[in-house]
Amino acid sequence: MRKVVSRDGTTIAYEKAGEGPPIVLLNGSFRDHAIFDALVPELAPRCTTYVYDRRGRGESGDSPEYAVAREIEDLEAVIQEAGGSAVVFAGSSGANLAIEAALAGAPITKLALHEPFYRVDGYPKPPWNVAKTLRVLMEEDRREEAVEYFLGSFLGLTPDTVAEWRKGPIWAVNEANAHTLAYDLAICGDCSVPADRLAGYTTETLVLNSDSTSAWLRAAAQATAAALPNGRALELPGSWHRINMDVLGRALAGFAAP
């Protein structure tokens, strides 16, 4: 992978592919750049893609003290590699991070978001002590329990669903990146849609959700789009918290076009 150095000296690993307008792909909880392995080929004929490992994951470095501002700087460093400005697509908690970066003035030409982790009225918020509980589990190196706790208490998955996830091939990646869940919780804050701040963000923004996702994720996507002066909501075919890659690729390539 290629490397760029973020403002605090942390090395961020990224890959570049394709031809056309630049688009930076930003992943959510647990994942590294490999989550976009199926999406990049859909985009590469029409876009230059930049996918990177968020700090603490994959081949990227990390710092002793975490701050959301450092992750914003990481994204800005990758955007600089893309020519100084770029379209950004981000999903899950990565969408929350992209929003914070956009509001902080990152050079984003267009913003595409997939199901940010917000909770609107009518849907319960995660337990108030979720961050503390997760921190205790990680201090005791109880990674498996930390992953299960995050999936159940924060994402609201049922025990049966979590048990099915444990049988899947990505469970080992979940445990390996469990220490970064605290980063995502810091990014999400109290999970409220920052409507007052979004009201001043005028960059064109596309907010996506799957037609088979959870009701709270659909509501969060719609509320985010509604809060943006130049926001547009779009529902696409898929499954829980996932849009079919061919459909997503076409939508993003069209959105990224000048």
Taking only the tens place, the pLDDT of each residue in 134-188 is: 999 999 999 999 999 999 999 999 999 999 999 988 999 999 999 999 999 999 9
The chain-wide mean pLDDT, for the chain, equals 96
pTM score, two decimals?
A: 0.96
Position 31 confidence tier, pLDDT thresholds 50, 70, 90: very high
Angle at 212 between CA 172 and CA 161, to 5 degrees: 35
Please give the Cα distance from 160 to 226 (Å, whole number). 34
Place of tokens 């600089």: 80
Please give the Cα distance from 40 to 111 (Å, whole number). 17
